[in-house]
Each structure stands twice: as structure tokens, then as C-alpha cells.
């Protein structure tokens, strides 16, 4: 199965994860692209090893969330998302970093959970991570 990578799109049409990606340095984008190219072709069950760019977050505290793990210029990036809402999708809900073993922002779970619930309940939509329409002429 090949996964499509989607992002939470707020009711006011703001796609924060895609904005964070688009505004990142080219090296940050490249590191995430490598991770997603690898993960996109793997079965979901194989998204458990941090050396494979992804890790399931604590099953007791945060049962549905995965972090995508990559590093650029000593910054550890941890965009977080969940599988869904469609079977072949992984949806990012928040762009995070890690420092000292802690995910930042500290309120990431509250934001991630609210956004996931909003998507599942139909209050928010998703958009592709990659805005291909705006990059076709480049």
C-alpha cells in the first residue's frame, strides 16, 4: 500500500503543517521527503522503528499518534499525525520539534487530538502535504 500524506486544514482554510513545510529550509524539506518516500511504501505495521523515520508514540497516553523523525542542522523535527481519515492516508496534524527528550510545543497532544477529532467529525478537512499545483511551473 502506498500512503498519501495529508495535512489538517482548519475551518478557516489554514493548513499549518503544509505552511511549516513550505516555509522550511530546503534541507528540512529534503529530510522529510526522504522519510516520507521510505515510509509511504511500507505497511503501517512497519512504522514502529525510529531508525525507519517513524515511531508510534506512547500507546497508553497517545494511542493513535505517530511522529515522523528526522534531523537537520541539530534540530530534531517531529511532525505528528495519524492514519486516516481514509485507509490509504496519513494525516499530519501538528509540526513539532524535540528538545531534551520532550516534544515541543508542550501542548502538542491537546492540539493534535482536537484536530484529529475535528477531521473525523467533519468539522475540518485535509489537504495534501505537497501543494503540487503551485509547483508545477518550477
Q: What is the pLDDT of residue 44?
A: 86
Domain residue limits at 9: 4-128
pLDDT tens profile 32-89: 999 999 999 888 888 876 677 888 887 667 778 999 999 999 999 999 999 999 999 9
In eight-state DSSP terms, residue 118 is H
**Among candidate residues 64, 5, 9, the one with its CA nearest the CA of residue 36:** 5
Q: What is the pLDDT of residue 60?
A: 67
In a domain, 33, yes or no: yes
Instruction: Write the CB contacts of 43 (distance below 8 Å, at least 6 apart in sequence).
Output: 1
In a domain, 138, yes or no: no
The answer to whether residues 119 and 85 touch, using CB atoms and an 8 Å cutoff, is: yes
In a domain, 134, yes or no: no
pLDDT tens profile 88-129: 999 999 999 999 989 999 999 999 999 999 999 999 999 999
The answer to whether residues 99 and 76 touch, using CB atoms and an 8 Å cutoff, is: yes
Instruction: Specify the number of domains making up the chain.
Output: 1
In a domain, 82, yes or no: yes
Rg, the chain, Cα only: 14
Grid coordinates 531534551 are at which residue? 100
In a domain, 137, yes or no: no
Provide the whole-model pTM: 0.89
In a domain, 17, yes or no: yes
Amino acid at each position: 500500500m502506498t500512503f498519501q500524506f495529508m495535512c489538517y486544514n482548519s475551518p478557516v482554510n489554514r493548513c499549518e503543517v503544509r505552511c511549516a513545510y513550505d516555509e522550511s529550509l530546503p534541507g528540512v524539506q529534503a529530510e522529510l521527503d526522504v522519510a516520507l518516500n521510505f515510509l509511504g511504501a511500507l505497511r503501517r505495521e512497519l512504522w514502529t522503528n525510529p531508525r525507519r523515520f517513524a515511531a508510534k508514540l506512547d500507546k497508553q497516553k497517545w494511542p493513535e499518534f505517530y511522529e515522523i523523525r528526522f534531523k537537520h542542522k541539530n534540530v530534531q523535527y517531529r511532525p505528528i499525525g495519524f492514519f486516516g481519515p481514509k485507509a490509504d492516508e496519513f494525516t499530519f496534524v501538528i509540526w513539532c520539534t524535540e528538545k531534551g527528550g520532550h516534544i515541543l510545543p508542550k501542548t502538542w497532544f491537546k492540539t493534535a487530538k482536537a484536530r484529529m477529532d475535528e477531521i473525523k467529525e467533519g468539522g475540518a478537512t485535509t489537504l495534501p502535504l505537497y501543494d503540487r499545483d503551485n509547483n508545477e511551473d518550477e
